[in-house]
Amino acid sequence: MFHKEGFIIIIISFILTVAIFVFSEYFIVSPQLNNILQFFSIFLLIIVLQFFRNPKRTVIPNDKKILSPVDGKVVVIESVYEKEYFKANRIQISIFMSPINVHVTRYPASGRITYSKYHPGKYLVAWHPKSSLENERTTIVIDTPEYGEILYRQIAGALARRIVNYANEGDKVIQGDDAGFIKFGSRVDVFLPLNTPINIKLNEIVKGAQTIIAST
């Protein structure tokens, strides 16, 4: 299954692959060059397909658990001052997504969207300390029954040039449902109350809508 945000790119990539095959068969005399072009076109198509894959994740919503919103590697777990919305200290969990990870963003908890804002910005590498404040990003706050308001932030990376966010203020959302997409390398930060028990460790590999990052 592929994410809807990739349909146009997948179709274009498929057409280009077919075009390269036809061109190489009829206009390239060298068998070696012909094979190189065909291999390269198939390789690029496979990269596009794997990037936009959207594996089905079955989730039974649980208000006592916060799930990872994305696939990736945990690169930050620390107490920080969150200055955009809370203007207070929160536990920040940052998950870095490489280009080979699934890039679907999923709601980490059920609740009501109380804040959703897009910020244009730079395209620093996603693991850069300032990327959370200076890169293109969206900030979303969910009012949850168990934890109160929690915040997650989609952050574009050096390759990402488009963040897709489906969360609108006032929406009621369900844990594990599709919340958006970030194209080509990125990061997601999650901000939780300071007393939240954390279930993951630094450098741990997590899966969106599967790994429990916090629970009460």
Write out the two tokens for 61: 């919503």
Tally of domains in the chain: 2
60 is a domain residue: no
Q: What pLDDT score was predicted for residue 92?
A: 97
The 3-state secondary structure of 13-64 reads: HHHHHHHHHHHHHHHCCCHHHHHHHHHHHHHHHHHHHHHCECCCCCCCCCCC
56 is a domain residue: no
Q: What pLDDT score was predicted for residue 196?
A: 97
Nearest to 142 by CA among 210, 60, 57, 67: 67
Q: What pLDDT score was predicted for residue 161?
A: 55
Residues 103 and 13 in one domain: no
The beta strand positions in the chain, using DSSP E, are: 65-67, 72-82, 88-97, 104-106, 111-119, 137-144, 148-156, 163-165, 172-173, 178-182, 186-192, 205-206, 212-215
Q: Are 173 and 152 in contact (CB under 8 A)?
A: no
Residues 110 and 41 in one domain: no
Instruction: List, run by run, the mean pLDDT of 10-residue segments along the chain (216 residues).
Output: 77 88 79 82 82 85 97 95 96 90 93 95 55 76 97 78 87 96 82 97 96 96
129 is a domain residue: yes
Q: What pLDDT score was predicted for residue 91?
A: 98
Which CATH number characterizes residue 195's domain?
2.70.70.10
Q: What pLDDT score was predicted for residue 149?
A: 98
Residues 46 and 90 in one domain: no
Q: Are 153 and 122 in contact (CB under 8 A)?
A: no
Annotated active-site residue in 24, 131, 186, 215: 186
Domain membership of residue 160 as a residue range? 65-215
Residues 32 and 92 in one domain: no
Q: What pLDDT score was predicted for residue 139?
A: 96
Write out the two tokens for 98: 């490489």
What does the angle CA 128 – CA 177 – CA 143 come to, to the nearest 5 degrees? 75
CA separation for the pair 104, 4 (Å, rounded)? 10
Q: Is 186 a catalytic residue?
A: yes
Residues 47 and 78 in one domain: no
58 is a domain residue: no
38 is a domain residue: yes
Within 8 A by CB and 6+ apart from 83, the residues are none
Strands 178-182, 65-67: pairing kind: unpaired
Q: What pLDDT score was predicted for residue 130?
A: 54
Residues 166 and 192 in one domain: yes
Q: What pLDDT score was predicted for residue 54?
A: 82
Residues 26 and 127 in one domain: no
**Each residue's pLDDT tens digit, 124-171:** 555 555 555 667 889 999 999 999 999 999 988 655 457 889 999 999
57 is a domain residue: no
Q: What pLDDT score was predicted for residue 165?
A: 93
Residues 105 and 187 in one domain: yes
Alpha helices of the chain — where are they, by DSSP H?
7-27, 31-51, 131-134
43 is a domain residue: yes
Q: What pLDDT score was predicted for residue 123?
A: 55
Nearest to 150 by CA among 101, 102, 104, 188: 188
72 is a domain residue: yes
Residues 129 and 173 in one domain: yes
